[in-house]
Amino acid sequence: MIRNICVVENARHWKKRVPQIEFVSVNDYLFGKEWQDLRQLKIINLANNYGYLGSGYYVSLVAEARGHKVLPNISTMQALSKKEFYLIETDDLNAQIQKDLANITDNKYELSVYFGKNVSKKYEKISRMFFNLFPCPFFKVYFRREKQWILTSIRSMSINSIPESHIGVFLEALVEFTIHRWGIKRQNNSARYDLAILHNPNERFAPSDDAAIQKFIKAGKNNGLSVEVIEKKDFAHLPEFDGLFIRETTSIDHHTYRFAKKAEKEKIVVIDDPKSIMYCTNKIFLNELFKREGIPRPKTFILSEDNVGEIYEQFSFPIIIKIPDGSFSRGVVKVEDPGELAAVAKEYFKRSDYIIAQEFMPTEFDWRIGVFNNKPLFACKYFMSRNHWQIINHHSDGKTGEGAHKTYHVSEVEPFIINTALKSAKLIGDGLYGVDIKVVGKKPYVVEVNDNPNIDVGVEDQVLKDSLYNTIMEEFVNRIDKLKMRKDREPAMPAEIVKLLNLQVVR
């Protein structure tokens, strides 16, 4: 079972104040034999000095070398020490900063963040947003008002510098985070690894429905994984997991991409990875990639505001017009004449400098070939919605209609379809993809490759049933095993730690 400890300079002092938490001194953690060989250990580093070569720095450095999960980790410490980094990372928070600080009369303000909480409830949202970016037990954010509020610096704090008036809030946040979050009782306490599934239960067209999510959880347990469903608000907790499975519609300018990037940086196995998301979510990229590699695709033309007139030399109506990052049939329209084309193009150019024109290839259905780890996983026919040319019909009143589906064992599908799907997916990577293919006259045309394709109960799993979910969870375990093996082959201790342990000195 995973143990949670808080590492502090004076363990005896804090044990008296918070007896429900296990406190360990910096020296005991660094030099005590009890902690050196443990693997299932989560550490909240409350040492005084997070600065380079300070005691807090060494606690996190040693923790990472031992394979312990630690907050903050070294990358967070480095991020908080580099102004050019945290100013870029906090760009997206500007609107919330202006809103939350609007009523402050002074021209300077200091925001104290304790595990994403603040002494004032009205600043908890912005505090949580900062904590999600920089998972650190406590730090201060400094602002100055010019024409608007400007973030001037972020500085980590010492536990001894917390004002007495803030101690109550800090201790409450510490207990909540340590016991109720990091101390959560997993469904499977004997699990080898922890896997997070990123899912938005309120998403209308989520890649997996709630029933499928439960299937993944069960399959994870069967494969030695403790699976927890997380949401956008749990960004700061990502480093405590060994794997991340994204089951939410992805986009580059979206928290799903930030989760994937964070997982990759923290050496957490993630499906799908940032590169796959970046490649798959832009149809202009896919078109150029397919063209270069000779992948058969519908005739395609990239439109800008300057070359719209050239389309008449390339296509006859009707023409399909797509926004590059559309999904689930959204941002895809069929135009019947030049007037419709002009109106749609004008609207789409407000969202993107370039849009896609594609020949209209009417088919009764599209194939969706699920590919995972460069192997075919499932094969579905998605039929067009009734009296419509798309699989999903988005009505003007907000309602939708969907076509029928039929799932096949991959061995039942003609090899030229499977082989085209495998070749297309391999250009992206070795993740989980859905390759959409139209077949016209025994010739396949790849419409697109999707990252995190739909896997819903009763649809994509119609043939494989529970083995589909098990296959994905098994591969997570394989990839985590391989990642752990690579880490084990690395030097056991960085030179800085060897020097520290030889000297037996903690600054």
Is residue 231 within 8 A of residue 247, CB to CB? The reply is no
Q: How far is CA 117 from the centre of its chain?
A: 23
pLDDT at position 476 is 97
pLDDT in tens, 118-130: 999 889 899 998 9
Mean pLDDT for 368-375 is 97
- Would you place residue 182 in the very low, low, confident or very high pLDDT band (cuts 50, 70, 90)? low
**166-173 contacts, C-beta under 8 A, 24 or more apart:** 166/112, 166/114, 166/119, 169/114, 169/117, 169/118, 169/119, 170/114, 170/138, 171/17, 171/18, 172/117, 173/114, 173/115, 173/116, 173/117
Q: What is the pLDDT of residue 254?
A: 86
| pLDDT value at 278 more than 80 | yes
- Helical axes 74-81 vs 55-66, angle rounded to 10°: 140
100 residue type, one letter = D
DSSP 385: P
Q: How confident is the model at residue 486 (pLDDT cuts 50, 70, 90)?
A: confident
pTM: 0.73
Tens digit of each residue's pLDDT (9 = 90 or more) over 330-344: 678 888 888 888 898
In this predicted structure, the answer to whether residue 115 has a pLDDT above a threshold of 50 is yes
- What's the pLDDT at 281? 86
Residue 253 has pLDDT above 90, yes or no: no
Can you tell me the mean pLDDT for 255-262?
A: 91
- State mean pLDDT over 106-117: 94
Q: Summarize the confidence of residues 465-483 as an average pLDDT.
A: 96
Residue 64, pLDDT above cutoff 70: yes
* Amino acid residing at 189: N
Q: Residue 433: what pLDDT?
A: 97
Q: Which helix (H) or strand (E) holds 221?
A: helix 210-222
Query: Which ranges of 310-440 would DSSP assign to H, the alpha helix?
Result: 311-314, 338-348, 415-426
Q: How confident is the model at residue 387 (pLDDT cuts 50, 70, 90)?
A: low
Q: Summarize pLDDT for 88-111 with one digit per residue, the tens.
A: 778 778 889 999 999 898 999 999
Determine the pLDDT at residue 184.
45
Buried-exposed string 169-202: b where 16+ CB fall within 10 A, e elsewhere: bbbebbbebbeeebbeeeeeeebebbbbbbbeee
Query: How confident is the model over 235-248, as a mean pLDDT?
Result: 90
Residue pair 141/110 in contact (Cβ under 8 Å)? The answer is: yes
- The C-alpha atoms of residue 367 and residue 417 are separated, in whole angstroms, by 8
**47 phi and psi, to 5 degrees?**
-65, 160
Q: Is residue 345 very low, low, confident or very high in pLDDT (cuts 50, 70, 90)?
A: confident
Q: What is the CA radius of gyration of the chain?
A: 26
| pLDDT tens string 403-440 | 789 999 999 999 999 999 999 999 999 999 999 999 99
Of the listed ranges 127-136, 268-277, 307-316, the least confidently predicted one is 307-316
State the pLDDT confidence band at 185, using cuts at 50, 70 and 90. Answer: very low
Instruction: Pick the range with the lowest mean pLDDT from 136-140, 205-209, 353-357.
Output: 353-357
Query: Which of 42-46, 298-302, 498-502 bottoms out in mean pLDDT, i.e. has the lowest?
Result: 498-502
Q: Stretch 152-176: mean pLDDT, rounded?
A: 90
Query: Is pLDDT of 249 > 60?
Result: yes
Cβ neighbours of residue 276 closer than 8 Å, sequence gap 6 or more: 428, 429, 431, 433, 451
Domains contained in the chain, CATH given: 3-181 (3.40.50.20), 193-272+466-485 (3.40.50.20), 299-360 (3.30.1490.20)
Q: What 3-state class would DSSP assign to 316?
A: coil
Residue that the structure tokens 């997206």 belong to: 92
